Structure 1
Amino acid sequence: MSKPRILVIDDERSLVEVLAINLEREGFEVMTAFDGQDGLRQAQVKLPDLIVLDLMLPVKPGLEVCRELRADSRTRDVPVIMLTAKTEETDELVGFAMGADDYVSKPYRMKVLIQRIKTQLNRRRQTEDAKNGDLVVERHGVVIDRHRHRALCNNEELLLTPTEFRLLEALMRQAGRAFTRHELMDAAMGEDAVVLERTIDVHIKSLRKKLNHSADLIETVRGVGYRFRETGLAES
């Protein structure tokens, strides 16, 4: 069985070296890049299983790298964990808006980062290895196909990040149910994810934008969170 391949894109070479050693001890194959342009090139050519991406990078900044990864059909489904020395709330929200699946602030604890990596890989593996059960959900012209990892709206493909895909699937599978933001975070990011509640709002905003004329299928439930419309008509 081949080792999961991790691409670490970070210009702090000493940190990259320590992280690479620890990841290799955990059974991962590690590739490294020290600027955004080289990291993007390696991601597109080598197609890693997961990318650890620093926000502050020379040549091409991390947010731009993340945006281009999500715009490329070869890499848009690869989980991205973003690293940053910044602790501003807006930086985290922007990172998720660009398509990051998780967010870890520097300085980080090595065991915590490695566990986050394993969680993201497990989620991706569960999606790809799903063989049984209801793999396709369709409601109001929106289709989620877990087996092919595709989402459609009125026969047009939706270019979703892995987190957006899981979020939309969770909402659609229990249409009509009002989910709290915490429940949606658990469904889309995992119970061990430490993120802001507003992060879900960012993902919902992005999903609505991609759904275009069907955006109102995701309804805001005041004081609770969100739900996917159960009936064909909007509720008053």
Structure 2
Amino acid sequence: MSETNFKVLIVDDEPDILEFLKYNLIKEGYQIFAAGNGLEAVEIAKREHPHLIILDVMMPEMDGIETCEELRKTPELDDTIVVFFTARGEDYSQVAGYEAGADDYITKPIKPKVLKSKVSALLKRHHHSEAAGTTATKLEIGDLIIDRERYLVIHEGEELILPKKEFELLMLLASKPEKVFTREEIYRTVWGNKIVVGDRTIDVHIRKLREKIGDDYIKTIKGVGYRFVEQ
């Protein structure tokens, strides 16, 4: 897909920031849509199905966290990459963003060259999101069924709809039970070589998975990574 076919939705309540983002990304050939608040963003996203959403956190009416949670409830936006764009660097803000379903984080201010490089790297993974080594369409392990074709997890008979990255992380680990996946290997496979994500990204996603499927399936190998335990 050429860059001119990529749709990018930018969401911020500050007109100057919207103009900065629009100006620099339009020059790169992207189709740009803009929203000044979360409610408008959700409406545009459902209509246009953007490939990437750059989302401010602090906004009136519906903040970025709430907006991201609402976007992640929309099945047709499962493949949309959501990135928070904010000046807030506190750990709790980043954790909240990942828990809401965000894929990445960009900190304000950002230079145009860095912005363009970051957006390009994010969009390059849009058609390469399938985890390496996970070609099986369905895995059944203990009380857990992972159905790649339907993007569905069934745990003890209950259907679970997971955010995209949680699903891909679970599918990767479960594809080779008892294998220890290093953090670097997980980052590279699930998020992509050129994607720089926060240090706590994997930890947050693992914690959310454990909340949904229990603690027994995923074991932490301290200082190395994670291992899926065959039941």
Q: 1:143 aligns with which of 146, 156, 164?
A: 146
Contact 2:54 2:85 in 1 (8 A): yes
1:227 corresponds to: 227
Q: Distance in 2 between matches of 1:21 and 1:45?
A: 23
- State the Cα distance separating 1:26 from its structure 2 match: 1.8
| Aligned counterpart, 1:191 | 193
- Report the residue type matching 1:134 in the other structure: T
TM-align CA RMSD: 2.4
Distance 1:194 1:134, change over 3 A: closer
Q: Cα 1:81–1:149, aligned 2, differ >3 Å: closer, same or farther?
A: farther
Distance 1:137-1:215 versus aligned 2 partners, 3 A rule: farther
Please report the TM-score for the alignment, with normalisation by the length of structure 2: 0.85
Q: Is the alpha carbon distance of 1:152 and 1:105 closer, same or farther for their aligned partners in structure 2, counting shifts above 3 Å?
A: same
Structure-2 change in CA distance of 1:191 and 1:149 (3 Å): farther
State the AA in 2 paired with 1:25. Answer: K
Distance 1:96 1:47, change over 3 A: same
| Structure 1 position 31 matched with structure 2 position 33 | yes
What CA distance in whole angstroms lies between the structure 2 residues aligned with 1:204 and 1:75?
22
Q: Is the 8 A contact 2:153 2:162 kept in 1?
A: no
Distance 1:165 1:112 in 2: 29
Instruction: Tell me how far 1:105 sits from its aligned partner.
Output: 0.6
Q: 1:110 to 1:149 in 2, by over 3 A?
A: farther
| CA offset digits 1:176-200 (Å, max 9, x no partner) | 1212333322222223333333221
Match of 2:17 in 1: 15
Report deviation, 1:23.
Answer: 1.6
Task: Give the C-alpha shift of residue 135 in structure 1.
Answer: 4.7
Q: Give me the whole-angstrom Cα distance separating, in 2, the residues matched to 1:120 and 1:215.
A: 31
- In the alignment, structure 1 segments of 5+ residues that lack a partner are none
C-alpha contact 1:137 1:173 (8 A) present in aligned 2:
no
Alignment of structure 1 residues 1-236 onto 2, 5 Å:
3-127=5-129, 134-140=135-141, 141-145=144-148, 148=149, 150-154=151-155, 156-211=158-213, 214-229=214-229, 231-232=230-231
Return closer, same or farther for 1:204/1:10 CA change in 2, 3 Å cut-off: same
| SS at 1:32 equivalent | strand
Residue 119 to residue 139, structure 1, CA distance change in 2 (3 Å): farther
Following TM superposition, by how much is the alpha carbon of 1:217 offset from its aligned partner in structure 2, in angstroms?
1.2
Secondary structure of 2:106 counterpart = strand
How many angstroms apart in 1 are the aligned matches of 2:45 and 2:179? 38
Instruction: Please say if residues 54 and 84 of structure 1, whose CA atoms lie closer than 8 Å, have aligned partners that are also in contact.
Output: yes
Q: Distance in 1 between matches of 2:85 and 2:26?
A: 19
> Is contact 1:35–1:58 with CA below 8 Å preserved after alignment?
yes
Give 1:85 deviation, angstroms: 0.7
Shift of the 144–122 alpha-carbon distance from structure 1 to 2, 3 Å rule, reads: farther
Counterpart contact for 1:166–1:187, Cα < 8 Å: no
State the distance in 2 between where 1:57 and 1:81 align.
15
C-alpha distance in structure 1 between counterparts of 2:160 and 2:122, whole Å = 21
* 1:149 CA displacement: 5.8
Please state whether the residue corresponding to 1:126 is helix, strand or coil. Answer: coil
When you count helix as a share of all residues, which structure comes out higher? Answer: 1
Shift, 1:79, TM fit: 1.0
* Count of aligned pairs: 224
Q: TM-score, normalised by structure 1?
A: 0.84
CA distance 1:156–1:109, shift in 2 (3 Å): farther
- Contact map agreement 1:49 1:121 (CA 8 A) in 2: yes
Note the alpha carbon deviations across 1:140-173, whole angstroms, 9 max, x for none: 033241xx36132246543222222222222122
